[in-house]
Amino acid sequence: MEVRVQNIRKEFSRFPALNDVSLDIRSGELIALLGPSGSGKTTLLRLIAGLESPTEGTVYFGNEDASRKTVQQRNIGFVFQHYALFRHMTVLDNVSFGLTIRPAGRRPSKDEIRKRALELLDLVQLSGLEKRYPAQLSGGQRQRVALARAMAVEPNVLLLDEPFGALDAQVRKELRRWLREIHDRTGHTTVFVTHDQDEALELADRVVVMSKGKIEQIGTPDEIYDTPNSPFVFGFIGESNILRVRVENGQLWIKEHSIGVSALGEADGPAQLYFRPHDIELLDGNGGCIAGLVAMTRRVAGTRHVELDIGAANSKVEIELPPEKVTSDHSRIAFRPTRWKLFRD
């Protein structure tokens, strides 16, 4: 189901947690709310669920105003960060819970509930574990029970709060791929909250980057990574370098040196140059480049990270080079960013 959030504002005892946030979630979409802690992403998720009510603004489920509906009436599936499985119930009872508590008129028969719960356990690859208790499961298995339980009520929208936050790196990666598969197979509209950019970029159809109670940018993972629209997004997503530069006659300058990057159409004046460590080319020349002395090198998996002292700008940048390129400390390296973005103060 399509979910629209319109001009939502949420205050917790006068402190604004969300400020004029609007977001359209398309039906069947897998969308990530990404941001540092305190950015309001979990609050937004809980507002959509109905676990919080907005100070101002409206939430629409389809064409219906859901703002006045209780969490029970919204028919959502919520997966909590620490799963919140009912510890005194078996896996099967956990998954069936949403169906067994329905009033007699809307409740499927006992056999049907059991059949449906077992199907879901099969979908989340937990067949045979239905008699276990949550305490007897691993973290990843609990996560999958929580997801099956949320899906059992055939929710309008699936909401996941830091779904992989409490798992170790290996399980995390596996579950990520697996969640994408489940989503593609079931087609639930899904929103998940994460502070892990790899997770958001790898998994989501669209990523919503949030900061300080506002949405900074909404876009596909490619758009977010390749064309960040604010210094915050550029700095938050992936690695980045920042240099103070000056625009003069369509050229970029660091103090008295042109760095060989033309910025046609940019107004003259000071600016911040943002570029990623791998978006560079090495040069031999002396002019029209950024040059620095090697301060430190680190080998990280398939690349060599080189930290340079840029004397002129009195700052440091990090660039990524192929590992074959051996550099000694204090040797001089000249380069030029190939992809970059300017932000004014």
> Interface residues with another protein (CB under 8 A)?
49, 51, 71-72, 75-78, 80-82, 84-88, 97-98, 101-102, 149-150, 152-153
Min CB(191)–another protein separation in Å: 14
Q: Considering the complex, state which of residue 69 and residue 244 has its C-beta at the smaller distance from another protein.
A: 69
Instruction: Decide: 186 and 150 in contact? Cβ < 8 Å.
Output: no
Min CB(192)–another protein separation in Å: 15
Q: Cα–Cα distance between 190 and 31 in angstroms, integer? A: 6
Instruction: Decide: 277 and 305 in contact? Cβ < 8 Å.
Output: yes
First and final C-alpha spacing in the chain: 41
Measuring CA to CA, which residue among 330, 285, 276 is closest to residue 303?
276
Min CB(78)–another protein separation in Å: 4
Type of residue found at 315: S
Question: Which pair of tokens denotes residue 182?
Answer: 């489940």
Min CB(45)–another protein separation in Å: 11
Q: Considering the complex, state which of residue 26 and residue 88 has its C-beta at the smaller distance from another protein.
A: 88
In DSSP notation, 286-318 reads SSSSEEEEEEEEEEETTEEEEEEEETTTTEEEE
Q: Considering the complex, state which of residue 71 and residue 171 has its C-beta at the smaller distance from another protein.
A: 71
Min CB(289)–another protein separation in Å: 55
What are the start-end ranges of the E strands in 221-268? 241-248, 251-254, 257-262
Q: Considering the complex, state which of residue 13 and residue 63 has its C-beta at the smaller distance from another protein.
A: 13
What are the start-end ranges of the E strands in the chain? 3-12, 15-25, 30-34, 56-61, 64-65, 77-79, 158-161, 190-194, 206-211, 214-219, 241-248, 251-254, 257-262, 269-275, 280-283, 290-300, 303-310, 315-321, 332-337, 341-343
Min CB(88)–another protein separation in Å: 4
Q: Considering the complex, state which of residue 98 and residue 228 has its C-beta at the smaller distance from another protein.
A: 98
Q: Considering the complex, state which of residue 114 and residue 212 has its C-beta at the smaller distance from another protein.
A: 114
Instruction: Decide: 162 and 193 in contact? Cβ < 8 Å.
Output: yes
Type of residue found at 296: M
Q: Considering the complex, state which of residue 77 and residue 163 has its C-beta at the smaller distance from another protein.
A: 77
Min CB(114)–another protein separation in Å: 17
